[in-house]
Every structure is written in C-alpha cells, then in structure tokens.
C-alpha cells in the first residue's frame, strides 16, 4: 500500500513542541516530501483531551467515523501550526475545518491512526472505508422548525399562547416533527419559528411572534431577526428556487450541506470527476477550490478567493453547490406536502440548472455547458 493513498492521519498529537515535531518527522520519513500538502493531519485530543489508555481507541473511532461519513474532521484550537507543518515540502496540513472528503484517485479512502504509549508501546494502524458511497444523512437535529398555521390571526395567536415550550430538547424535536406533519400550507395565516439548540430562547421568540400578530400592520410576508417568519393570505403560485449568479461564490460555500447530505455529496463527487475530465486537471481540483485546505495567513486566504473567482472555476462551482442544494430540497419538499418545485430563478448562464434539477440533463452536461 502506497502512503500517497492515505489522505488522513489521526496523530497522537501530544500538543508539545518537541513531541509533535518528532511525530511529524517520523511520518514524513514514511510519506516523503511533496510540493503540495495532500494529507490531513489532526488529533482528537484537541476536543476531548488526553484519555490515557483510551486515547488510541478514541482516535480509531474518530477515523472510522470520518471514513463512514466521508468527511475530514477538524482539529480545533489551532491558530498557527508549528514550523514543521508549514514547510514547503511537507505532505501534511493541519485540518482545522470540517470538509467533505471527496476521493481524489482510484483507490478507497484510507486513514492512519497513531497511538504512542508510555514506555515505548507505540502503535499505528491503517483503516480503509467499507463502502465508497455516502448513504447516511449526518443530521444532528440541533436546528428545528416549528410551524403554525390557522384560518385567522386570532386562532394563530391562541396557538402560540397555548404552546408550552418543553425543557428537554429531545422532547421539542418530537413536538416539532408532529407540528411539521400537521402544518397546513394552504391556511390563510402561517408562522414559522426556527430554533437552534443552546442558542435560541424559544419562550422569547414566541413572545415576539405574538407581538407581531398584535400589530394591525402585519400582512403579506414579514421576517423578524432570530428566525421568525410570518405570512398571510393565499399564495397559489408554484414554488421556485432562487440560485445565485457569478460573483456570489466564496470558499467553503454550503460546506455544512456537503458533509451532512448524501444528495449534495454525490453531486459534488460527480461534478469533481467531470471537471477533471473536461479541464485536464487532477481529480479533486474542483472540490479543493470550493473547500480549500485551511490556511493561516491573509495571503493564503486571498489566494483561495482568487482561485474561486476565475470564470472557468466560479461557474462550475456555483452550479455544483446550487444543484446539490436543489437535490436536497426536492425530497424534503415532497415529504412536507408543499407545492412542487416547478421553476428556478437564477443568472441566465445557470438556466441549465432547471434541466439538471429534474435530471433531464446529468451533472456532466451541466459542467460542459458552464
């Protein structure tokens, strides 16, 4: 097995200047030198500390989950890596951001795990993914949508007043699921509250929503800061999706969706392959430009932005993430019994997204057109 097929190393990561330098030096003795870093390096100790005898097992669990979910997990609390990880010839980079792990070559995803014990009991193991497909949605439910619908404003306000916010988040998740099933999109009065775990004050949000309904000026569509949305009247038109045009792109865009949803991830992988075939560049190039390796200086950040500004990259990148988000929304819209998506609105060059969305065209067609 060639070291260049291993794209993630879960290091022992003592967090000491000498220890980390020795570990990186030993790894580089095996992996060799490289003009461009390509292997993510991290340690779970930045998140849970040193678990002593369980440290190696913790690293194996982290690497196994990374392979399963097809993502490169972040190592936190790193502001500036050591010089040994910033050299011009190292194949390693400290991955401080959660990023999708798109395969770059014709081999399975592989990860190495190091565990260094007292008295010289040092171990290293290699893990390989069981399946190349991302099949499981990695959704933690930490954001919930609470919808309310009624025939008139008085009934809607009564629903808000009668709603008792549960203390336990798991209980709220169950209640929110039931309310989404009962929501009537055809009702005259509709209100949606978006709640985030450990961030939102639900009781305060419901109070603000009630105050909005007391305002006789409230009509049509209104949005309050913090995640409160109100709509009144009948809207019988079709549901449409609005996509951004060139100039809206930025490094890391929609990265949270790329690592959570298989629908988005599959579009990203296919687009990456097509982009490589059409441009003659290496596989993984498009993904690297959308979700670049973390950098720790302004010059590097400006370089990443410039890479994504070029038209030949910006258009396929925007098309990829737009199509990925549309593929996520389609089954959700269907399951919520809302109006079917029948149109898209976007910059003229991306009109082909309307064809890709119902899969009239493939992602290959999309990349060629862009």
Number of domains making up the chain:
3
Same domain flag for 186 and 265: no
Q: In this structure, what CATH number is given to the domain that contains residue 45?
A: 3.40.47.10
Average pLDDT, the chain: 85
Residues 6+ away with beta carbon under 8 Å from 344 = 240, 241, 242, 243, 326, 351, 353, 354, 357
Q: Are residues 24 and 79 in the same domain?
A: yes
Instruction: Tally Cβ neighbours within 10 Å of residue 210.
Output: 15
Confidence of residue 345 (pLDDT cuts 50, 70, 90): low
**Which candidate, 62, 66, 56, 75, places its Cα nearest to that of 114?**
56
Please indicate, yes or no, whether residues 252 and 227 belong to a single structural domain of this protein: no
293 within a domain of the structure (yes/no): yes
Residue 281 pLDDT level (bands cut at 50, 70, 90): confident
- Residue 217, pLDDT score: 66
Query: Would 354 be classed as within a structural domain?
Result: yes
Q: Are 220 and 270 in a shared domain?
A: no
pLDDT confidence of residue 368: 45
- Mean pLDDT, residues 307-311: 89
Q: Can you tell me which residue has the tokens 């930490």?
A: 142
Residues 248 and 227 in one domain: no
Which residue, of 75, 101, 128, is where some domain finishes? Answer: 128
Is residue 250 domain-shared with residue 171, that is, in the same domain? no
CA distance 193 to 202: 8
For 47-60, what is the mean pLDDT? 89
More confident call, 247 vs 66: 66
**Would you mind telling me the total number of residues written for the chain in this entry?**
370
Q: Which residue has the higher pLDDT, 185 or 100?
A: 100
Q: Is the pLDDT at 7 greater than 60, yes or no?
A: yes
Q: How confident is the model at residue 111 (pLDDT cuts 50, 70, 90)?
A: very high
Residue 252 and residue 360 in one domain: yes
* Residue 109 contacts residue 129 (beta carbons within 8 Å): yes
What is the per-residue pLDDT for 279?
Answer: 85
Dist. CA 183–CA 193, nearest whole Å: 13
Which range is least confidently modeled, 13-17, 105-109, 176-180, 279-283? Answer: 13-17
Q: What percent of the chain stands above pLDDT 90?
A: 47
Alpha-helix residue ranges (DSSP H) falling in the chain: 17-31, 45-48, 55-69, 153-162, 169-182, 202-214, 255-260, 262-279, 285-290, 298-309, 311-335, 352-356, 363-369
pLDDT of residue 363 exceeding 60, the answer is no
Q: Are residues 273 and 258 in the same domain?
A: yes
Last residue of a domain, one of 128, 163, 196: 128
| CA nearest neighbour of 102 among 79, 77, 141, 129 | 129
- For the stretch 116-168, pLDDT in tens is 877 777 889 999 999 999 998 888 889 999 999 999 999 999 999 999 888 79
Domain span including residue 310:
240-369
pLDDT on residue 356: 56
In a domain? residue 96: yes
In a domain, 137, yes or no: no
**Dihedral over alpha carbons 294, 258, 272, 302 (to 10 degrees):** -30
Give the pLDDT of residue 360.
41
Residue 52's φ and ψ, nearest 5 degrees, are 55, -120
Point out the domain boundary residue: 211, 236, 261.
Answer: 236
Residue 316 lies in a domain: yes
Task: For residue 10, tell me if it sits in a domain.
Answer: yes
Is 133 inside any structural domain? no
In terms of average pLDDT, the best of 30-39, 64-73, 86-95 is: 64-73
Residue 135 in domain: no
- The CATH number for 302's domain is 3.40.366.10
Same domain, 192 and 207: yes
308 and 335 assigned to the same domain: yes
Q: Please state which of the ranges 261-275, 288-302, 326-340 shows the lowest mean pLDDT.
A: 326-340
Based on the fold, state whether residues 357 and 280 are members of the same structural domain.
yes
Q: Has residue 176 got a pLDDT over 60?
A: yes
pLDDT at 339: 42
pTM of full prediction above 0.75 = yes
> Do 156 and 78 have their domain in common?
no
Q: For position 329, what pLDDT does the model report?
A: 82
- pLDDT of 361 above 50: no
């Amino acid at each position: 097995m060639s070291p260049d097929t291993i794209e993630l190393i879960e290091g022992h990561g003592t967090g000491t200047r000498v220890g980390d330098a020795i570990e990186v030096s030993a790894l580089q003795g095996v992996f060799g030198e490289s003009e461009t870093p390509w292997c993510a390096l991290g340690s779970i100790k930045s998140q849970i500390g040193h678990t002593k005898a369980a440290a190696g097992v913790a690293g194996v669990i982290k690497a196994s989950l990374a392979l399963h979910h097809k993502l490169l997990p972040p190592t936190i609390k790193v502001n500036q890596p050591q010089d040994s990880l910033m050299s011009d010839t190292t194949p390693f980079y400290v991955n401080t951001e959660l990023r999708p792990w798109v395969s770059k070559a014709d081999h399975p995803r592989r990860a190495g795990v190091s565990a260094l014990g007292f008295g010289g009991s040092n171990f290293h193991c290699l893990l390989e993914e069981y399946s190349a497909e991302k099949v499981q949605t990695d959704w933690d439910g930490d954001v919930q949508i609470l919808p309310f619908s009624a025939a008139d404003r008085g009934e809607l306000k009564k629903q808000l007043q009668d709603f008792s916010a549960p203390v336990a988040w798991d209980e709220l998740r169950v209640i929110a699921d039931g309310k989404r099933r009962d929501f009537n999109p055809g009702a005259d009065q509709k209100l949606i509250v978006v709640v985030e775990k450990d961030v939102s004050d639900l009781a305060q949000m419901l109070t603000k929503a009630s105050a909005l309904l007391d305002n006789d000026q409230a009509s049509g569509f209104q949005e309050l800061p913090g995640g409160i949305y109100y709509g009144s009247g009948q809207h019988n038109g079709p549901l449409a999706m609005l996509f951004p045009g060139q100039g809206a792109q930025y490094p890391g865009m929609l990265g949270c969706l790329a690592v959570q949803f298989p629908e988005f991830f599959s579009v990203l992988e296919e687009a990456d392959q097509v982009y490589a075939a059409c441009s003659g560049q290496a596989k993984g190039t498009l993904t690297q430009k959308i979700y670049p390796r973390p950098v720790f200086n302004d010059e590097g950040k400006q370089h990443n932005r410039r890479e994504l500004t070029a038209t030949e990259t910006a258009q396929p990148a925007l098309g990829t993430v737009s199509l990925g988000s549309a593929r996520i929304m389609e089954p959700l819209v269907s399951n919520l019994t809302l109006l079917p998506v029948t149109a898209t609105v976007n910059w003229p060059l991306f009109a082909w997204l309307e064809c890709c969305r119902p899969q009239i065209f493939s992602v290959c067609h999309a990349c060629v057109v862009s």
